[in-house]
Structure 1
Amino acid sequence: MERLLKRSEVDWIPLGDEQFFEVANRHRRPVKASLRVAGDTPYYGANNIQDFVQGHTHDGEYVLIAEDGSASLENYSIQYALGKFWANNHVHVIRGKDNVNTRYLYHYLSVFNFIPFLTGGGRAKLTKGRMIEIPVPIPCSKEPDTSLEIQSEIARLLDTFIDLSAGLSEELKSREKQYHHYRGILLNFPKPEGTA
């Protein structure tokens, strides 16, 4: 990490800073399940893809943050969307501008503690007013090319860890199946004659 940052300064930029981030909430549109027209476009809600529909509200690379209805407050719902998708009114839709790597933003927000920014009682809500106060660490913010290079490398490393972790999970599942299979064979002793 030290080599990557080269002793560079990190600035904490709020999500509301329009020089660095775009909040694209105005295009969100909720559609009742009974009125949705089936299609190939993912329809995102607070916790994931809710449906597949025709049409789209957004096209590009975005991060979706639950506005309300996150399944967990400690592991707040953050989604990464690429290409055409439909966003309902239960997610904030944001992305980095030219000087912020959106995949880097996604990784950062995936580990961010949203609890201090939530309002409401039983059903916690992340209002737009509170969301735009969330600070994001931007290395070398005054040197856009260097900053993007660092952000891209951090995002690449984290994507690699995710891929490796997924591969290990699949390998562990395969080994567990193999273990149960051979355990069954090895512990399947023939019953002595005369026993039921």
Structure 2
Amino acid sequence: MFGDPITNSKNIHQVPLGELCKLKAGKFIKAAQISDYNKGNMYPCYGGNGLRGYVEEYTHNGSYPLIGRQGALCGNVQFAEDKFYATEHAIVTRPTLEIDVIWLYIMLREMNLNRLATGAAQPGLNVGNLVELQVMHPPLSLQVEFAKKFKEIENQKRAIEDSLKLLEDNYNSLMQRAFKGQLF
């Protein structure tokens, strides 16, 4: 719908990413405070490589694309919703203009931000460079249309995954009964 976001193959109006959204790293948290499991009333904790675990407090509430800032997978883009904690290794993108956050998430994901990483031993992204990065800024109506189609596809994907899980469960049940001689 928008072409290649890196080359801007459809010549869509571009602006620096810093005009579309405010980019800010999350907050430090000790590793000992992060649990591998949600023990009830805990919040997802996102680091530079995605979900790190669960914590008892949150730093953000809403829907935000997150950009991994450090590590081999820096530049990866996650989507966090509701209440969550963002560590200092995740950059929270808070829109400053009226834009669709789903569109922003997919656009950032498709931009292969890892290509902008610097450093060999511990690659990282410089927020200053990201702020200046030229990105497409199509009309809001097209962003919303794209987000609607994306959500429809995601819902269809979930329905297929649920059907596959049910099919697998039924198959395993039949195989167990066949092995025990209960089918014939």
Q: TM-score range by the shorter chain?
A: 0.7 to 0.9
Q: Distance between the aligned counterparts of 2:174 and 2:29, measured in 1?
A: 51
Q: Distance between the aligned counterparts of 1:84 and 1:183, measured in 2?
A: 43
Q: 1:105, CA displacement in angstroms?
A: 0.3
Structure 2 counterpart of 1:159, one-letter code: K
- Going from structure 1 to structure 2, the CA distance change for 1:130 and 1:50 (only over 3 Å counts) comes to farther
User: Is it true that 1:80 corresponds to 2:72 in the alignment?
Assistant: no
1:68-107, aligned counterparts within 5 Å?
68-69=70-71, 72=73, 77-107=76-106
Q: Distance between the aligned counterparts of 2:82 and 2:168, measured in 1?
A: 37
Identical-residue share of aligned pairs (%): 25
Gapped runs of 5+ residues in structure 1?
Answer: 3-7, 140-146, 191-196
Question: 1:51 maps to which residue?
Answer: 54
Query: Are the aligned partners of 2:102 and 2:147 in contact in 1 as well (CA < 8 Å)?
Result: yes
Q: 1:126, CA displacement in angstroms?
A: 1.4
User: Is it true that 1:13 corresponds to 2:15 in the alignment?
Assistant: yes
Q: Secondary structure at the match of 2:152?
A: helix
- Going from structure 1 to structure 2, the CA distance change for 1:170 and 1:122 (only over 3 Å counts) comes to farther
Q: Bigger radius of gyration, 1 or 2?
A: 1
1:74-115 deviation line (CA, Å, top 9, x unaligned): xx5322223333221101111222332112101222232123
- Going from structure 1 to structure 2, the CA distance change for 1:167 and 1:12 (only over 3 Å counts) comes to same
- Going from structure 1 to structure 2, the CA distance change for 1:183 and 1:82 (only over 3 Å counts) comes to closer
> Which residue, 30, 39, 42 being the options, matches 1:40?
42
TM-score (ref. length: structure 2): 0.75
> Which residue, 127, 142, 150 being the options, matches 2:142?
150
Question: 1:193 maps to which residue?
Answer: none
Q: Distance between the aligned counterparts of 2:97 and 2:128, measured in 1?
A: 23
Q: Distance between the aligned counterparts of 1:179 and 1:59, measured in 2?
A: 41
- Going from structure 1 to structure 2, the CA distance change for 1:183 and 1:77 (only over 3 Å counts) comes to same
Structure 1 counterpart of 2:27, one-letter code: R
> Which residue, 43, 63, 66 being the options, matches 1:64?
66
Q: Secondary structure at the match of 2:137?
A: strand
Q: Distance between the aligned counterparts of 1:178 and 1:59, measured in 2?
A: 39
Question: 2:5 maps to which residue?
Answer: none
TM-score (ref. length: structure 1): 0.71
Q: 1:186, CA displacement in angstroms?
A: 5.5
**CA RMSD after TM alignment:** 3.1
Q: 1:35, CA displacement in angstroms?
A: 5.4
- Going from structure 1 to structure 2, the CA distance change for 1:35 and 1:99 (only over 3 Å counts) comes to closer
Question: 1:135 maps to which residue?
Answer: 134
Query: Are the aligned partners of 2:42 and 2:54 in contact in 1 as well (CA < 8 Å)?
Result: no
Structure 2 counterpart of 1:68, one-letter code: Q
Q: 1:31, CA displacement in angstroms?
A: 1.5
Q: Distance between the aligned counterparts of 2:56 and 2:31, measured in 1?
A: 10
